[in-house]
């Protein structure tokens, strides 16, 4: 007489129900789930499909620019102090005081230029943020892939923006009516300024 089959092991898991995720260690196949991400900024590769408010407004850009004008204030303060000391030394006919003032003027001027280069080209090119953009919460990125534009392109962008505005100041105003809030310079260089705060808040 054949023996009866053993009873099922109650601790042995059965086959997963239909639609359940595969067991741990098994690859999941099929298309990815759709829907908005749980966290993080919107995908940069498709800026034209982003919801309203994704692009930085004209007002955001103006306020950031005003902050950036103030960024080299430390160097300019040293320069101004040098001018005052030079004037006082000249009035007193003291060559030593005049020489000290001239040194401060040169140091202040060089410091201000360095802060300008660092802010507009190095920091913005590497991260997308200038000092002013960090304060406002907007960022410059490449429109195609969403990466920072790089120091070289940030420099080219600054020069092109200046050249266009030498002819007419329309580049400053173009974001007022542009769908993607771009300047003409941004359109030429495929760059865009978006609303995105710096999570590190370095400065």
Q: Using CA atoms, how far apart are residues 24 and 42, in angstroms rounded to an integer? A: 30
The mean pLDDT of the chain is 79
Whether pTM exceeds 0.85: no
**What's residue 18's pLDDT?**
54
**Taking residues 176-186, what's their average pLDDT?**
86
Structure confidence by residue, pLDDT tens digits, 96-118: 999 999 999 999 999 999 999 99
Structure confidence by residue, pLDDT tens digits, 14-49: 555 555 454 444 444 344 444 433 334 444 444 444
**Residue ranges with strand state E in 34-155:** 138-142
Contact 96, 104 (CB under 8 A): no
């Amino acid at each position: 007489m054949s023996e009866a089959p053993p009873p099922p092991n109650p601790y042995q898991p059965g086959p997963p129900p239909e639609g359940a995720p595969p067991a741990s260690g098994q690859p999941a196949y099929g298309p990815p789930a759709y829907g908005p991400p749980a966290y993080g900024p919107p995908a940069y590769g498709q800026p034209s499909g982003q919801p309203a408010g994704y692009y930085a407004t004209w007002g955001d850009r103006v306020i950031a620019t005003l902050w950036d004008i103030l960024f080299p204030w430390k160097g300019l303060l040293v320069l101004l102090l040098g001018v005052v000391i030079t004037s006082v030394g000249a009035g007193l006919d003291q060559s030593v005081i005049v020489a000290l003032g001239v040194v401060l003027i040169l140091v202040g001027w060089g410091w201000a230029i360095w802060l300008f280069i660092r802010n507009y080209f190095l920091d913005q090119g590497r991260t997308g943020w200038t000092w002013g953009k960090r304060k406002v919460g907007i960022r410059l990125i490449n429109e195609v892939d969403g990466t920072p534009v790089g120091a070289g392109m940030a420099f080219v962008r600054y020069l092109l923006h200046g050249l266009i505005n030498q002819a007419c100041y329309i580049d400053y105003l173009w974001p007022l009516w542009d769908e993607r809030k771009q300047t003409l310079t941004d359109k030429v260089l495929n760059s865009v300024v978006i609303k995105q705060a710096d999570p590190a808040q370095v400065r």
